[in-house]
Structure 1
Amino acid sequence: MAQTSSSSSSPSLKASSSVTNDFQAIIMALILIVTIGYFILLIVTPTNMYRQIWTPKIKAHTTNSTYFGAQGRTLLMNTFPLIFIAVLGCVYLHLWKKSNNKNINRVEEKQKLAIWKRPIIMKGLGIVSRIELGFFVMFIALLVWTFASYLHIIFPTITPKSVAKSGEKVWEAKLEDSGLRLGLVGNICLTFLFVPVTRGSSVLQVFGLTSEASVKYHIWLGHIVMTLFSGHGICYIIYWAATHQLSEMLKWGKTDISNLAGELSLLSGLVLWIATFPRIRRKMFELFFYTHHFYILFVVFFVFHVGVSYACIMLPGFFLFMVDRFLRFLQSRSNVRLVSARVLPCETLELNFSKTRGLSYTPTSIMFVNVPSISKLQWHPFTITSSSNLEPEKISVAIKGEGSWSKKLYQMISSPNSVDRLNVSVEGPYGPPSTHFLRHDLLVMVSGGSGITPFISIIRELIHTSESQKCKTPEILLISVFKNSEDLTMLDLLLPISCAPSETCKLGLQIEAFVTREKQPVSTEDKKNLRTIWFKPNPSDEPITPILGQNNWLWLGAIISCSFIIFLISLGILNRYYIYPIDKNTNDIFSYPIKAVLNMLIICISIVITSSAAFVWNKRQSGTDAKQIQNMEGATPMASPNSWFYNADREMESFPQQSLFQSTNLHFGERPDLKRLLFERKESSVGVLVCGPKKMRHEVATICSSGLASNLHFESISFSW
């Protein structure tokens, strides 16, 4: 009977999986169609065909609407497509997550488009793949095409005869129009500016991107946006000065463009932009952090400047960002349970938090941490070192004392009179929906200093995979470069505090550790101990839980769609019963600034209502697990062993640590010959991952892109944007 039941259930599972895959394929095809259509619209917009044929037809069906008016056109054509893609992406990721869980062993996948993923080092852009470079060039081409098309249509109409009535010169009229077109082109970039920094974005993840890896796209777009908007403002200032109309700079139109609002928006953007340059950002991080909040003023005054109808062009990306930002705000309001901290001699901490079993994440994920006793406003991202499968009730992050904030935290915890508990809030975790490490025969991980932290989570995940799934895992070559021998204690984090012997024996791990500033090991007298500090639980502390529960993608899709529908309904009611009667029945036109304020207020209210309802509902659902963990005392404090790498002469009592130490080769006073180490690997598929200083990443990228070894597949993991 058991055999019959098992055999009969297998076809049903396969059929269910097949149906799910079909739905996924349909949704992805629909996403691609809408995406391509949206970009075709952007390409066609500056042409005569759009202005003379499409625009009159669209206006005929939208302008006379008593519910949305002219705003309905931009909502339909510019806002709805990206919102629709985001909702479809949520459904796709939910189905993918379910099917991926049912087909865990489906890890064999060929390296498609490998040549297009090879890295290229571009000055100003850093390390990019050929695919990224291709899309970047196409996007720049779109901007150039848009600007050139506008000028090609408008400039022939500007003649001495046409400007004679206004008393302008031809060059002045052309300058004004050029400034206007620069602003229109900048709006295209502004549409996508907030998409890469939406951490829980379905739009990014459905295309295989993460928010951390996409920060560079935000940086590129930010530079382009501010360059175009600065050109836009400069053109108008020169035009007003040449035509003796500098008083226009103080104009705040009630039913027209508000020049003063535009200048305030540009000024806010310039302050923000200046603080983002690397020299300022790295030396004065707090200045960068606080001035970056000027984006609120930038967006608000932008809406006042162009009017709410035209601002709908950039609404979708900012709308999705606001949803994500408010959900992060809700998550960050509670203190989380900090169980313990491992204090390393190299001024590094591993913080271990309690979490519910329902919270899952992938290797290389990050989590944002806030410690109110150091700074109530500052949030810093750190790499997660734990594995949600190997450690189902714990999540860990590694923090190296490099900046002022992290040094204060290290001193606070490592001091002899350290605190017995610490209030900590978190946001996240955020990471890729899946990893593809199992498709390689060998993983070569190249790290410099604290760049080893994302590889710790990968190794812990592979330990679990090799033991639980009984499938072949790739061999691992870890090449770690450190400045001092104290930094070797980072290798102790490769294994969690408690690790069974059977969990490491099947993992083919070889470590090549290089200490560059010392030619021989440090004497025993100079060595410091690795310590574990246990924190007392507090009844108000909670384990980290998923923001939106197990079905987080479905909930996110529901929040986006419901909040957008509430916005549309509220906007329709406002226009029909309040704004429309004033515009229709009086000689006055409803004030544009007041209309902008009401629209922004409605958007905020709709997001707050839907997000809060979803968050509270899921909070109650996960309350049982949280209470069970909250009432548990931390593990019994044990004497922490010294570092097995730093104090290599001590007696070995732990089999996992002993096995790990025996697989490590230490090199003092030298740097790794990366070219030799990579080219001598003859496996058919070698995944090369690098995380560390910029020079190291570029060196590895150059080796992999040389074409001398076709089996090397490069991937940069950079958190130093």
Structure 2
Amino acid sequence: MTFNLKMVEFCVCFMAKLKRWQARLDSIAVRLGLTGNICLGFLFYPVSRGSSLLAAVGLTSESSIRYHIWLGNLVMTLFTSHGLCYCIYWISTNQVSQMLEWDRTGISHLAGEITLVAGLVMWATTYPAIRRRFFEVFFYTHYLYMVFMLFFVFHVGISYALISFPGFYIFIIDRFLRFLQSRNNVKLVSARVLPCETVELNFSKSPMLMYSPTSILFVNIPSISKLQWHPFTIISSSKLEPKKLSVMIKSQGKWSTKLNHMLASTDQIDHLAVSVEGPYGPASTDYLRHQSLVMVSGGSGITPFISIIRDLLYVSSTSACKIPKITLICAFKTSSDLSMLNLILPISTEISSYVDIQIKAFVTREKVSTCNMNIIKTLCFKPHSSDQPISPILGPNSWLWLATILSSSFMIFIIIIAIISRYHIYPIDQSSKKYTSAYTSLIYLLAISISVVATSTVAMLCNKKSYYNKKDQNIDVLSPLMIESSLGQLLPEFTNIHYGERPNLNKLLVGLKGSSVGVLVCGPRKMREEVAKICSFGSAENLQFESISFSW
């Protein structure tokens, strides 16, 4: 009898502990989901390329990607843990059927599982090995963010989803504005094919479009891929070349290789349809604060420095301000890569006597030149009448227009929801049949979409009418002589080429004179780390290190 009583007491105690453990697991799962919801609220700020918030905190759309990656990993870790905790909870309490439940007025478990599956698919394709080798898979699966956000709202309801909506709201506006810009074909004027399998594309642009050096332009060519957008560094200067915008594209993947073969295998292409998004870049750059600038590049890492050099050349020709001494240290694998030096200057630009520039080029895999660097194929296109110069989607005061769109669209959203709630949702809620959470969420999402589309479209049309100069449509096709540069004149006077050796960065950087020497580096990770290590030495206090890396 005593034994039976002890067994009963043990069972009661065990069940109490089990229920306590299950209650704690339920509490932990709720906290994980709430924390994930808060982190989700910050996830979309870094990928709002045109947002003025990034510039306000000193970030560019490209440099902020790392924060998006960190937040994405954190969000998916929290949401995955949240889902696993509830799966364990339901199994331990014999409530497996809860996994398929879609509550009319409460939390929808099935919608949450769809959200988690969509998130896991996106998360899996962000693994570096997959993203680099199968970029198309990574690119296309990221469109699942629409499924993720839709069912996330269905899962938690619109009230809890509003915690994460400010960042997503800004992203929706930015994404729709980019969609409007990408609907137009831009005026591609010419292209140059270099012997190092590199292509330079020259676009016509509106003179009112201003951008800073190292800016990025997203390019889409439907004849290669209708869905793929790729970012490229702008090598032109909006000040030196007010009616032209140029990008350099190195053949490093399937998309860029197809473009290079397309242009290299034909003597003449009358027209090439191209759409763009951007440009995006830093709000401003202040390279004049240094007494001298040393730019260290590896391979195609020379591209951002071309735009910097062109911008400084403009300053030297229009201002009495003395520009820094410029030293470009560039490392290439083969002598054919030296042809990229052709892109540093347009032929119509002369180096001012006030500019002190020196180029030190290193060819690491060849001891003698095996390529004629002056063999450059030039193609001129005939733009269609519907093609437009690249221009800012919201005009020169884009930050002001963006603020107007945000405030006005939010007010329209509030008015729509107030009317629908008063005359449609409220009468049903007062009856015995409650209005379903999914329908309420869907109405809120539709109201947001309508307000964003209406205000963004009106803003774009107003800017197009006010700022779009009809004369820009009649810009003549640039002749090959106006877009080429003369390597024969540039190399002997300003450039030293070293074959069969790598640059001794320690020897080239240590001991540079001047109270402030800006050291900019763009290239492989190993090169950036080496330069950073040199600049961090105590004896190199005058070296100001800045890394320019692109991780789209």
TM-score after normalising by structure 2: 0.94
Q: CA deviation at 1:377?
A: 0.7
Aligned with residue 423 of structure 2, among 559, 574, 577: 577
User: How has the CA–CA distance of structure 1 residues 637 and 442 changed in structure 2, closer, same or farther, with 3 Å as cutoff?
Assistant: closer
Deviation of the 1:168 alpha carbon: 5.0
Aligned to 1:387: 237
Matching of residue 531 in structure 1 with residue 362 in structure 2: no
Deviation of the 1:418 alpha carbon: 4.2
Query: Which amino acid letter does the alignment assign opposite residue 567 of structure 1?
Result: F
2:479 pairs with 1:636 = yes
Q: Which one-letter code corresponds to 1:666 in the other structure? A: I
**1-structure distance, mates of 2:352, 2:216:** 24
Q: Are positions 1:614 and 2:463 aligned together? A: no
CA distance in 2, matches of 1:561, 1:661: 57
Aligned partners of 1:369 and 1:426 also within 8 Å: yes
The aligned amino acid for 2:365 is R
Match of 2:364 in 1: 516
1:690 aligned onto 2:521:
yes
Q: Secondary structure of the residue that 1:367 maps to in structure 2?
A: strand
Q: Deviations over 1:71-118 (max 9, x none)?
A: xxxxxxxxxxxxxxxxxxxxxxxxxxxxxxxxxxxxxxxxxxxxxxxx
Question: How is 1:493-504 mapped onto 2 (pairs within 5 angstroms)?
Answer: 493-496=343-346, 498-501=347-350, 503-504=351-352
1:567 — aligned with what?
413
Aligned-partner Cα distance in 2 for 1:224–1:705: 32
State the Cα distance separating 1:509 from its structure 2 match.
Answer: 1.1
Partners of 2:221 and 2:256 lie apart in 1 by 10
Residue in structure 1 matching 2:164, options 302, 314, 335: 314
Contact 2:268 2:379 in 1 (8 A): no
Deviation at 1:528, TM superposition (A): 6.7
Structure 2: how far apart are the matches of 1:639 and 1:441? 32
Residue 367 (1) aligns with residue 198 (2) = no
1:641 deviation in Å?
Answer: 7.0
Name the SS of the counterpart of 1:307 in structure 2. Answer: helix
**Pair 1:556 & 2:402 matched:** yes
Any conservation in 2 of the 1:194–1:321 contact (CA below 8 Å)?
yes
> CA, structure 1 residues 639+368, in 2 after alignment: closer, same or farther (shift >3 Å)?
closer
Q: Which amino acid aligns with 2:178?
A: R
Q: What corresponds to 2:325 in structure 1?
A: 475
CA offset at residue 421 of structure 1?
A: 1.3
After TM superposition, the structure 1 = structure 2 runs for residues 76-87 of structure 1, keeping only pairs within 5 Å, are none
Deviation at 1:720, TM superposition (A): 3.1
Q: Which amino acid aligns with 1:690?
A: V
Within the alignment, does 1:600 sit opposite 2:450 as a pair?
no
Structure-2 change in CA distance of 1:661 and 1:176 (3 Å): farther
Matched to 2:435, the amino acid is F
- The whole-number CA distance in structure 1 between the counterparts of 2:396 and 2:417 is 33
SS in 1 for 2:540: coil
1:18 aligned partner: none
Two-structure CA RMSD over aligned residues (Å): 1.9
- The answer to whether the 8 Å contact 2:335/2:371 transfers is no
Q: 2:89 aligns with which of 215, 239, 251?
A: 239
Could you tell me which amino acid in structure 2 is paired with residue 332 of structure 1? S
Do the aligned partners of 2:237 and 2:245 also contact (CA within 8 Å) in 1? yes
Question: Hey, what does 2:536 align to over in structure 1?
Answer: 705
Cα distance in 1 for residues equivalent to 2:493 and 2:464: 46
2:139 alignment counterpart:
289
Q: 2-side partners of 1:303 and 1:661: how far apart?
A: 64
- How many Å apart are 1:633 and its aligned residue? 2.6
1:636 Cα deviation after fit? 3.5
Residue 431 of structure 1 corresponds to 281
Contact map agreement 1:489 1:643 (CA 8 A) in 2: no
Paired position in structure 2 for 1:540: 386
Aligned position for 1:402: 252
3-state SS of 2:302 partner: helix
The answer (yes or no) to whether the contact 2:267–2:379 under 8 Å persists in 1 is no
Secondary structure class of the residue paired with 1:464 = helix
SS in 2 for 1:169: helix
Task: Mark the CA change 1:543 to 1:666 in structure 2 (over 3 Å): closer, same or farther.
Answer: same
Is the partner of 2:69 in helix, strand or coil?
helix
CA drift of 1:436 comes to 1.5
Alpha-carbon distance between aligned partners in 2 of 1:632 and 1:187, rounded to the nearest angstrom: 50
Distance in 1 between residues matched to 2:395 and 2:482, nearest whole Å:
36
- Cα deviation for residue 537 of structure 1 reads 2.5
Q: Tell me which residue corresponds to 2:495.
A: 664
Write out aligned runs for 1:35-50 (5 A): none
**1:179 and 2:10 matched:** no
By how many angstroms is 1:285 displaced?
Answer: 0.6
Deviations 1:177-212 (A, max 9, x none): 111111111122111101001001111111111111
| CA offsets 1:591-630 (integer angstroms, 9 cap, x no match) | 100000000000000000000001011112234x2x3232
Cross-structure match for 2:42: 192
Q: Write out per-residue CA displacement over residues 93-152 of structure 1, whole angstroms, 9 at most, x where no aligned residue.
A: xxxxxxxxxxxxxxxxxxxxxxxxxxxxxxxxxxxxxxxxxxxxxxxxxxxxxxxxxxxx
Deviations 1:2-36 (A, max 9, x none): xxxxxxxxxxxxxxxxxxxxxxxxxxxxxxxxxxx
Is 1:588 equivalent to 2:433 in the alignment? yes
- For 2:492 and 2:77, the matched residues in 1 are separated by 53
Query: Structure 1 residue 213: deviation in Å?
Result: 0.8
Q: How does 1:122-201 map to 2 (within 5 A)?
A: 169-201=19-51
Deviations 1:451-508 (A, max 9, x none): 1101110000000001102211111111111110000111111112x3233x443221
Kept in 2, the 8 Å contact 1:537–1:633? The answer is no
Counterpart residue identity of residue 622, structure 1? Y
Cα distance in 2 for residues equivalent to 1:431 and 1:636: 29
The whole-number CA distance in structure 1 between the counterparts of 2:483 and 2:472 is 24
Is contact 1:387-1:457 (8 Å) kept?
Answer: yes
Equivalents in 1 of 2:481, 2:67: separation in Å?
Answer: 46
Q: Is the 8 A contact 1:412 1:419 kept in 2?
A: no
Mapping of residues 214-363 of structure 1, within 5 Å: 214-363=64-213
Q: Distance in 1 between matches of 2:116 and 2:36?
A: 12
CA contact (8 A) 2:65 2:551 kept: no
Q: Aligned equivalents of 1:416 and 1:328: distance in 2?
A: 32
Aligned partners of 1:447, 1:171: CA distance in 2, in Å? 58
Amino acid at match of 1:691: C
Identical counterparts, % of pairs = 59
- Rate the CA distance shift 1:177–1:452 in 2: closer, same or farther, 3 A: same
Q: d(CA) in 2 for partners of 1:327 and 1:707?
A: 48
Q: Deviations over 1:522-577 (max 9, x none)?
A: 266xx671122111121111111111112222111101110111111212222222
2:78 and 2:303 map into 1 onto residues whose CA distance is 38
Structure 1 stretch displaced more, 667-676 or 345-354: 667-676
Q: 1:629 to 1:216 in 2, by over 3 A?
A: same
In the other structure, the counterpart of 1:718 is 549
Structure 2 distance, partners of 1:523, 1:473, is 34
Superposition TM-score, scaled by structure 1 size: 0.73
CA displacement at 1:361 relative to structure 2: 0.6
Inter-partner Cα distance in structure 2 for 1:404 and 1:568? 46
CA contact (8 A) 1:532 1:640 kept: no
Report the counterpart of residue 87 of structure 1 in structure 2: none
What is the distance in 2 between the residues matched to 1:314 and 1:523?
56
